């Protein structure tokens, strides 16, 4: 549903606002990411500052998304319902 709704693409096109809620270092052996990679929990908001989705992502020092290369969705709002994978 996250991919169907093009959440990441809409944020990249600046249709959605990204709000960082948590920012830390991943556990190196578990994450298998380069040094200085950031582990983020982010919330996507629409132009009226309404919640759209929440996701986890690794941001590498070169600013690319680590792991799969896409955010890992945790929650998504469609209408008045919240979906959790």
Integer Cα distance of 45 and 63 in angstroms: 21
Determine the pLDDT at residue 25: 86
State the pLDDT at residue 54: 98
Q: Is residue 67 in some structural domain?
A: yes
Determine, yes or no, domain membership for 56. Answer: yes
Amino acid 85: pLDDT:
85
Residue 1 included in any domain = no
Residue 2 located in a structural domain: no
85: in domain: no
Q: How many domains does the chain have?
A: 1
pLDDT in tens, the chain (85 residues): 999 999 999 999 999 999 999 999 877 677 788 888 999 999 999 999 999 999 999 999 999 999 999 999 999 999 999 999 8
Please give the Cα distance from 21 to 39 (Å, whole number): 11
Do you know the residue count of the chain?
85
pTM: 0.89
Residue 84 forms part of a structural domain: no
Q: Which domain holds residue 35?
A: 7-78
Sign, CA dihedral 12-28-73-3, equals: positive
pLDDT of residue 34: 87
Q: Which residue has the tokens 């556990």?
A: 27
State how beta strands 17-24 and 38-45 pair. Answer: antiparallel
Residue 33 belongs to some domain of the structure: yes
């Amino acid at each position: 549903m996250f991919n169907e709704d093009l959440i990441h693409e809409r944020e990249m096109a600046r249709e959605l606002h990204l709000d960082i809620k948590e920012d830390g270092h991943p556990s190196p052996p578990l994450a298998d990411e380069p040094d200085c990679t950031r582990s983020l929990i982010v919330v996507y908001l629409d132009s009226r500052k309404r919640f759209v989705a929440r996701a986890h992502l690794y941001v590498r020092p070169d600013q690319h998304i680590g792991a799969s290369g896409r955010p890992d969705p945790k929650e998504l709002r469609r209408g008045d319902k919240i979906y959790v994978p």
